[in-house]
Structure 1
Amino acid sequence: MSTEPVYTPPPGSRACQLRTDRGAFAVVDCPVAPGVRPRGVALMLPGFTGSKEDFTLMQGPLAERGYRTVAVDGRGQHESDGPELDESAYERGELARDVLAQAAALGPLDTPLHLFGHSLGGQIARAAVLLDHTPFRSLTLMASGPAQISDSQQQRVKLLRDALAVMTMAETWEAILAMGPPEEVGGPARGIGGQELLRRRWMGTKPAQLLATGRQLCAEPDRVDELAALPLPFHVLSGASDDTWPVSVLDDMAVRLHAHRTVIPGAEHSPNADQPLPTARATADFWDRVDDAL
């Protein structure tokens, strides 16, 4: 039996339920570090096959910079409940309204609330601010592109959808492991906590959530011009390489958004896992500039 720890939460944080008018969502809530002046709050949305734990290595450094961070499992994702088979519950608009409900549950409107989304989470965050941008001080899109994912990643999602059409989640997981590294054959991307956590969150995630959001990633329209029209500061952050959206595509999106642009050396599609300290530093620097400009 493996002795590898499943997951070590950030210091001072607590795993709890965030109760909203659209139901309860599992979160890791990491407060500002003791003795540090509070600067704001951030709501952090994970990517496809991801979970709230993906932000673990960023949350401590952000707490030291004065930011409370609330990393969330979306509807039907890991430890947040949702329908097993009803894909309509995971339509993009439904997930966007969940984010607005989460924002409303986090506290008074006079507390600066920054929205941060990774990959799929970035596209859900975009949909949320297009419904209502007023709860948010800024939007950071990390490794999250303007439209559908790359052809190679669409093939990865198709592998997953085909498997789930004929197998249970447990059977699909075993098939993925037999074929190779999970992130290369349709399974969860490499993440924090080791394979045991990857399997736990895979088994906790609802099949309908994976099917619906995978379909969305393969058909997402370009909504950058709509987003650019909003009076929000934007930050486009990525690794130096990315096979889900090419870095050149993210560069172009940043120009169209008039966004602050950060490229993290030594990182790929998950800068939060590959280079968490530089990623946290760049994120806090952006939030500081946004708040200092007001």
Structure 2
Amino acid sequence: MSTPRFLDLPPGVAPQKIETPQGTFAALEALPVSGVVERWPALLVPGLTGSKEDFIAVLMTLAQSGRRVVAVDLRGQYETAGPDDPAAYTCAALGADVDVLAQVIGGGDPVHLVGHSFGGLVAREAVIDGRTKFASFTLMSSGPAAIEGRRASNGRKILEEVPVLGLEHVWQTKFEPEALANDVSDEIRQFLRRRLLSNSATGLTSMAEQVLSMRDRTDELRQIELPTLVLFGEHDDGWPPETQSEMAARLGAESVVVPGAVHSPAVEAPETTAAALVTFWNAAEKHYLDVRSSAM
């Protein structure tokens, strides 16, 4: 279970509501504290039991590269409302939400897209469906198909117990014991409980079903020919590091292994993660401009 490194928002970061044709999405928006916005924006998509707060530790650094950076709650997550219809929470449906978010945030410019864990599977749908022009795509601690290992058991617990016993039961029997074992502070533990209980129960179970059954779409993603980065912790306990390395090779993508990190590099190694993202984004923009210049 991931926890934000801190809950106080850093300079340049503020809560926002992003209005789209498909509804309103809760977000954290980061702008440069000094300098101006001169580069393409970025959209950050969280994982299954996560939220926009999982990116707090990297937002200011990412924005200081001259960008508007927006982290969102997906439909039905934490502070973004969602319906009781399971069909609203398929990866394809959530990917369509990512499409409209990117179009609104970009305002005509391409957007750098980052998806963490389950958010990577959702963001991949948006890239493959071809509705939106993205500047780059980063799969952060996200694999080619269904999640594996310990985190797969977390997903099964959600899928099996939330519809019958409710979110409070899952908090008390799974997430709270993990937080206590990891010496998570009372303040963050209270936030984690509030966040979990604020989720749509229908949405959470539907998303868990998706992450446990997702098919491999790596070959389809490669055909998009979009600059892609595969970034993961050296001790990832979701998709094994070797699985993510193999996926990067199949994609012809850059691969960054974050030393010491597990499943949440933006939380566990924020400076390393932010530096890797900025370097990748800058290179993707330069490549785009070089290609456009050579075509003229």
TM-score (norm 2): 0.89
Shift of 1:68: 1.5
Aligned to 2:272, which of 256, 260, 278? 278
Q: Does 1:227 align with 2:255?
A: no
Q: Which amino acid aligns with 1:233?
A: P
Q: Is the CA contact (8 Å cut-off) linking 2:163 and 2:201 kept in structure 1?
A: no
Q: Which amino acid aligns with 2:283?
A: R
Identity of aligned residues (%): 38
Q: Is the CA contact (8 Å cut-off) linking 1:46 and 1:118 kept in structure 2?
A: yes
Q: Does 1:129 align with 2:95?
A: no
Q: Which moved more, 1:57-66 or 1:159-168?
A: 159-168
Q: Does 1:157 align with 2:155?
A: yes
Q: SS state of the match for residue 65, structure 1?
A: coil
Structure 2 stretches of 5 or more lacking a match?
A: 290-296
Q: SS state of the match for residue 282, structure 2?
A: helix
Q: SS state of the match for residue 280, structure 2?
A: helix
Q: Give 1:196's aligned residue.
A: 190
Shift of 1:55: 0.4
Shift of 1:66: 1.4
Q: Give 1:98's aligned residue.
A: 97
Q: Is the CA contact (8 Å cut-off) linking 2:6 and 2:56 kept in structure 1?
A: no
Q: Which amino acid aligns with 1:93?
A: A
Shift of 1:160: 2.1
Structure 1 stretches of 5 or more lacking a match?
A: 185-189
Shift of 1:57: 0.5
Shift of 1:58: 0.5
Moved over 6 A (4+): none
TM-score (norm 1): 0.90
Q: Does 1:58 align with 2:58?
A: yes
Q: Which amino acid aligns with 2:259?
A: P
Q: SS state of the match for residue 124, structure 1?
A: helix
Change in Cα spacing, 1:183 to 1:221, as seen in structure 2 (3 Å) is farther
- Of Structure 1 and Structure 2, which has the larger fraction of its residues in helix? 2
Q: SS state of the match for residue 181, structure 1?
A: helix
Q: Which moved more, 1:66-75 or 1:10-19?
A: 10-19
Shift of 1:46: 0.2
Q: Is the CA contact (8 Å cut-off) linking 2:219 and 2:250 kept in structure 1?
A: yes
Cα distance per residue 1:34-53 (max 9 Å; x no partner): 22562220000000100000
Shift of 1:14: 1.6
Q: d(CA) in 1 for partners of 2:162 and 2:82?
A: 17
How many correspondences in the alignment? 281
Q: d(CA) in 2 for partners of 1:247 and 1:119?
A: 13
Alignment of 1:145-224 (within 5 A): 145-176=143-174, 180-181=177-178, 194-224=188-218
Q: d(CA) in 2 for partners of 1:177 and 1:288?
A: 38
Aligned-residue RMSD, C-alpha: 2.1
Q: d(CA) in 1 for partners of 2:105 and 2:78?
A: 21
Cα distance per residue 1:266-285 (max 9 Å; x no partner): 11110000000010000000
Q: Is the CA contact (8 Å cut-off) linking 2:27 and 2:71 kept in structure 1?
A: yes
Q: SS state of the match for residue 212, structure 2?
A: helix
Q: d(CA) in 1 for partners of 2:198 and 2:216?
A: 31
Q: Does 1:257 align with 2:251?
A: yes
Change in Cα spacing, 1:286 to 1:129, as seen in structure 2 (3 Å) is same
Q: Give 1:187's aligned residue.
A: none
Shift of 1:183: 10
